[in-house]
Amino acid sequence: MSALRLSDRARAELLRARERAQPAEACGLLLGVRSGDEARVVRAVRVRNRAGGAQRFSLCPQGWMRVELAARQQNLEVLGPWHSHPDQPAVPSALDLAHGWHERPNLIVGTDGIRGWQEQRELSVSSD
């Protein structure tokens, strides 16, 4: 994966979730469609943060399962996770690197906007 294209809806969902979760981190899953080396992110669905702390996130497994089922019904794929940084740039933290889901594209929404990462490489993120 080298590039992610965000729908207006997904972008709004990410920014809103970050705002609403302050000062904690919000997290969830990216739903979309892959084509070749790119993916279009149609939705950024929020999943309850089981960790609940300001410094890290952990997706609630039941919420994750519900999103997987909903994605299938809409013919969308679960592309990877996203989470917010309440007061840090959208760069993976040491904890993110230790616990992340690195083989999948990740989005982080932080103080400098929305950025994408996979295996510690930054992905190109564009809008529709």
Binding site for Zn ion (CB under 5 A): 93, 96
Structure tokens that stand for 97 in this block:
């690197």
Contact 85, 78 (CB under 8 A): no
**Residue 13 or 96 having the CB closest to Zn ion:** 96
**Shortest Cβ distance from residue 56 to Zn ion (Å)?**
7
Q: With respect to Zn ion, which residue has the nearer C-beta, 58 or 93?
A: 93
Question: Of 19 and 128, which CB lies nearer to Zn ion in the complex structure?
Answer: 19
Q: Is 16 helix (H, G, I), strand (E, B) or coil?
A: helix
Which residue's beta carbon is nearest to the bound Zn ion? 96
Q: 111 — phi, psi (to 5°)?
A: -65, -25
Q: How far is the CB of 69 from Zn ion (least distance, A)?
A: 26
Rounded least distance, CB 127 to Zn ion, Å: 22
Residue 67 backbone zone (phi > 0: left; psi -120 to 50: alpha; other: beta)? alpha
